[in-house]
């Protein structure tokens, strides 16, 4: 599903954000990418969305070689990946329904399909009754669920969440993580970028740890049990 | 892009116009003012054009044939045919030798006409009096007549034609220039407004791109927004000019009549309204699209 192959990323100002990073995430896997602030997590996300191109190395997602992807193919690529952000990134002047529908409209889906799918996705994340609300009328946890519904609406094979619980209280965090687990159980590959050790420790999934731009640890699912890990 | 997608995106553009009410109204007003000057030029131009045309109607070209040819000579018929076949000819009247003789005798020589007493009309050529449709290419048409076989000479009021042509082209060039500058100004206004809305919506645009919206999907609403402002601005301009024109046309025409100038008359607004509306709204739309496209290209890299 994801293959990062000897990737080095050097920003124009000379900062080396990633150093010879390699790992693979298989289809259907649930993986955490963790690390201190400045470790290179966001850079990795930018590379996976082809917002930036690596200085060296290759990236493959869904079998697509990023270095061969043309600029105008980027929208198509992003539609095949569901993304969830720490700050939710909802369109403030549109209702919950329209925010989720937007991800379908850009794929030129029919009105009928939109009318059918959006309520389903909202029900899935527990927001069936909030379709007409605006983002500002929702709590942080609810906004993140809208973000999740939007990320899922086009049935992506891969979901990437960048600090999805960073702005949420523990209860809401747990619920979002539970949703992500369910999504994963239904076959979607899920990658969660985070620096919250509690979540990582609770879930006992695969963990890839970055430090100063290098992979310093890659523990397989179920084996990561270090309660005192310092991340 | 499918029609439903286009209509969704266009709807977003319209919504933006409405949501940025204040800014939209201000830029529409400014576009209206720039295009107003354009509209005024338009009104003046069509009126000048109409009146110049009515003056031009009175001008004629005289085509003289070889004097050896007589009235019913087939070669004369050939010349007449070639004149009439010219697309710029409005009418063509054949003048016989006798008619020419009478003109010479009674209109030109008058008291001295006795010198013609013992002469026949044979030395005078058959000629044609030709009226043109478009006098601005009159010199060219006259040259074409001159190259017809057996045509000896072509008389035409060259100076008048050239003067009219020169004046008309100055007016055209001048109004094109000023109109062009003002259209550029309107374009700049719209471009600037769209630039501000692009900045104001940077965050939204970013979100859309992350979700996978295509270039067109992100850009088109801004283009539509610019186009709508251009169209509405020019429509306002049209209404203002139309209203002003209708309220002064009566007074001006009366004035012209009392001054004894009957050949000059302002056109009725209904005669120019349709073309003027299409021209102005078309220019408004084009100006709006180009203006916003410039901003979007410059400030919205996807
Ligand atoms: N656009 C950029 N230009 C230059 N340096 C950058 C840029 N973005 C991030 N960096 C640097 O790259 C390193 C990794 O940053 P980042 O990927 O944001 O880490 P994280 O998300 O793990 O906190 C940091 O040293 C940061 O300062
Ligand atoms: Mg980061």
Q: Band of the pLDDT at A42, cuts 50, 70, 90? A: very high
Write the pLDDT tens digit of every residue in A89-148.
999 999 999 999 999 999 999 999 999 999 999 999 999 999 999 999 999 999 999 999
Distance CA(A91)–CA(A71), nearest Å, equals 24
A138 token code pair: 């929702």
Asked if A2 and A60 touch (Cβ cutoff 8 Å), the reply is yes
β-strand partners of B153:
B64
CA A123, A127, A133, A137: dihedral to nearest 10 degrees? -170
Phi then psi for residue A222, to 5 deg, are 85, -20
Question: Does the pLDDT at position B107 exceed 80?
Answer: no
A94 to chain B, closest Cα gap in Å: 11
Tokens, residue A180: 């992500």
Cα–Cα distance for residue pair B294/B296, rounded to 1 Å: 6
Residue B229: what pLDDT?
93
pLDDT attached to residue A23: 96
Q: Is the separation of the CB atoms in A216 and A210 below 8 Å?
A: yes
The reply to whether residue B211 touches residue A102, judged by beta carbons under 8 angstroms, is yes
Is the pLDDT score of B192 beyond 80?
yes
Tell me, what's the pLDDT at B57? 64
At A8, give phi and psi (nearest 5°): -120, 135
How far is B169 from B191, CA to CA, in rounded Å? 32
Look at ligand 1, atom 12, and give the residue with the nearest C-alpha: A17
Residue B39 is encoded by which pair of tokens? 């509209």
CA distance A178 to B272: 70
The answer, for A73 touching chain B at a CB cutoff of 8 Å, is no
| Mean pLDDT score, A78-88 | 94
pTM over 0.95: no
Q: What is the mean pLDDT of chain B?
A: 86
> Does the structure show a pLDDT above 60 at B44?
yes
Within 8 A of B5 by CB-CB distance, chain A residues are: 105, 108
Taking Cα atoms as reference points, which of B70, B67, B76, B80 lies closest to residue B124?
A: B67
Mean pLDDT of B4-27: 90
Length in residues, chain A: 231
Instruction: Give yes or no for residue B291 having a pLDDT over 80.
Output: yes
Contact call for residues A92 and A139 (beta carbons, < 8 A): no
Answer whether A14 contacts ligand 1 (Cβ < 6 A).
Answer: no
Question: Is residue B189 within 8 Å of residue B29, measured between CB atoms?
Answer: no
Under the banding of pLDDT at 50, 70 and 90, the label for residue A219 is: confident
pLDDT for res A198:
83
Q: Hunting for tokens 């139309």 — which residue is that?
A: B242
Alpha-helical (H) ranges within chain B are: 3-19, 21-56, 74-85, 97-102, 138-146, 158-200, 202-211, 215-258, 269-299
Q: Are A144 and A164 in contact (CB under 8 A)?
A: yes
* Distance from chain centroid for Cα B144: 25
Strands (E), chain A: 2-10, 16-25, 30-34, 56-61, 64-65, 81-84, 158-162, 189-194, 206-211, 214-219
Q: Give the minimum alpha-carbon distance from B3 to chain A in angstroms, rounded to a whole number.
A: 9
**Strands A30-34, A189-194: parallel, antiparallel or unpaired by DSSP?**
parallel
Backbone angles phi, psi at B194, to 5 degrees: -65, -35
Cβ contacts of B210 on chain A, cutoff 8 Å? 49, 78, 83, 85, 89
CATH of B67-149, one of 3.40.640.10, 3.10.450.50, 3.30.70.3040, 3.40.50.11820: 3.30.70.3040
Residue A227 has pLDDT above 60, yes or no: no
For the four alpha carbons of B41, B46, B49 and B50, in that order, the dihedral sign comes to: negative
Indicate if the pLDDT at residue B302 is higher than 70.
no
* A208 within 8 A of A217, measured Cβ to Cβ: yes
- Which stretches does DSSP call E strand in A44-186? 56-61, 64-65, 81-84, 158-162
Of the candidate ranges A24-28, A107-111, A191-195, B182-186, the one whose mean pLDDT is the lowest: B182-186
Task: Kindly give the interhelix angle for B21-56 and B158-200, rounded to the nearest 10 degrees.
Answer: 170
**Cβ within 8 Å, pair A91-B204:** yes
Domain range summary for chain B, segments of one domain joined by +: 3-55+162-299, 67-149
Tokens of B136: 């601005």
All residues at 6 or more sequence positions from A165 whose CB lies less than 8 Å from its CB, including other chains:
A144, A172, A173, A176, A177, A194, A196, A199
Chain A residues with CB inside 8 Å of B219's CB? Answer: none
Nearest CA owner, ligand 1 atom 4 = A11
Nearest C-alpha to atom 18 of ligand 1 is from which residue?
A42
Question: A186, A71 in Cβ contact below 8 A?
Answer: no
Least trusted range by pLDDT, from A109-113, B55-59, B139-143: B55-59
Q: Which long-range CB contacts under 8 A does A111-115 form with residues at least 24 apart?
A: A111/B4
3-state secondary structure of B155: strand
A140-152 vs A111-124: helix axis angle to the nearest 10? 130
d(CA B126, CA A210): 105
Which-ligand-closest: CA of A40? 1
Structure tokens at B215: 């270039």
Asked if A79 lies within 8 A of B211 by C-beta distance, the reply is: yes
A226 pLDDT tier (thresholds 50, 70, 90): low
Is residue A193 packed enough to be buried (19+ CB in 10 Å), middle (13-18) or exposed (0-12)? buried
φ/ψ region of A38 (left if φ > 0, alpha if ψ in -120 to 50, else beta) reads: left
């Amino acid at each position: 599903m994801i293959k990062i192959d000897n990737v080095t990323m050097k920003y124009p100002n000379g900062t080396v954000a990633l150093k010879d990073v390699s790992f693979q995430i298989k289809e259907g896997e649930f993986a955490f990418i963790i690390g201190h602030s400045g470790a290179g997590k966001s850079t990795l996300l930018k590379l996976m969305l082809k917002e930036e191109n690596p200085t060296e190395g290759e990236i493959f997602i869904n079998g697509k070689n990023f270095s061969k992807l043309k600029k105008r193919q980027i929208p198509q690529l992003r539609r095949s990946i569901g993304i969830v952000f720490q700050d939710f990134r909802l369109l403030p002047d549109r209702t919950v329904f329209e925010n989720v529908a937007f991800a379908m409209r850009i794929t030129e889906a029919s009105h009928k399909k939109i009318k059918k799918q959006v309520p389903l996705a909202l029900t899935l994340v527990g927001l069936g009754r909030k379709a007409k609300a605006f983002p500002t009328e929702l709590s942080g946890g609810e906004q993140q669920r809208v973000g999740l519904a939007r990320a899922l609406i086009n049935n992506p094979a891969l979901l990437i969440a960048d600090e999805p619980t960073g702005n949420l209280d523990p209860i809401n965090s747990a619920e979002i993580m539970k949703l992500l687990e369910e999504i994963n159980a239904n076959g979607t590959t899920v990658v969660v970028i985070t620096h919250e050790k509690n979540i990582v420790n609770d879930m006992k999934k695969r963990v890839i740890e970055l430090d100063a731009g290098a992979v310093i640890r890659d523990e397989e699912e179920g084996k990561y049990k270090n309660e005192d890990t310092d991340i | 892009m499918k029609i439903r997608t286009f209509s969704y995106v266009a709807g977003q553009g319209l919504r933006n116009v409405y949501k940025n009410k204040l800014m939209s109204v201000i830029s529409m007003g400014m576009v209206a003012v720039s295009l107003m000057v354009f509209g005024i030029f338009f009104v003046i131009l069509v009126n000048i054009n109409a009146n110049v045309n009515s003056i031009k109607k009175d001008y004629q070209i005289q085509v003289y044939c070889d004097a050896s040819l007589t009235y019913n000579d087939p070669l004369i018929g050939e010349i007449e045919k070639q004149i009439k076949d010219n697309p710029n000819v409005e009418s063509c009247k054949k003048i016989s030798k006798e008619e020419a003789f009478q003109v010479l005798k009674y209109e030109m020589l008058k008291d001295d006409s006795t010198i013609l007493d013992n002469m026949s009309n044979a030395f005078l050529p058959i000629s044609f009096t030709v009226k043109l449709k478009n006098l601005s290419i009159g010199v060219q048409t006259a040259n074409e007549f001159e190259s017809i076989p057996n045509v000896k000479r072509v008389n035409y009021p060259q100076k008048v034609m050239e003067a009219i042509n020169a004046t008309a082209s100055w007016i055209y060039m001048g109004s094109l220039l000023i109109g062009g500058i003002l259209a550029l100004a309107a374009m700049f206004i719209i471009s600037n407004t769209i630039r501000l809305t692009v900045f104001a919506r940077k965050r939204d645009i970013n979100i859309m791109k992350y979700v996978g919206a295509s270039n067109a999907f992100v850009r088109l609403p801004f283009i539509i927004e610019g186009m709508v402002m251009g169209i509405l601005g020019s429509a306002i301009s049209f209404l203002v000019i139309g209203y002003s024109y209708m309220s002064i046309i009566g007074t001006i025409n009366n004035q012209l009549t009392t001054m004894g100038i009957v050949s000059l008359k302002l056109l009725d607004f209904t005669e120019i309204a349709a073309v003027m509306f299409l021209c102005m709204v078309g220019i408004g739309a084009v100006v709006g699209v180009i203006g916003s496209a410039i901003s979007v290209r410059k400030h919205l890299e996807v």
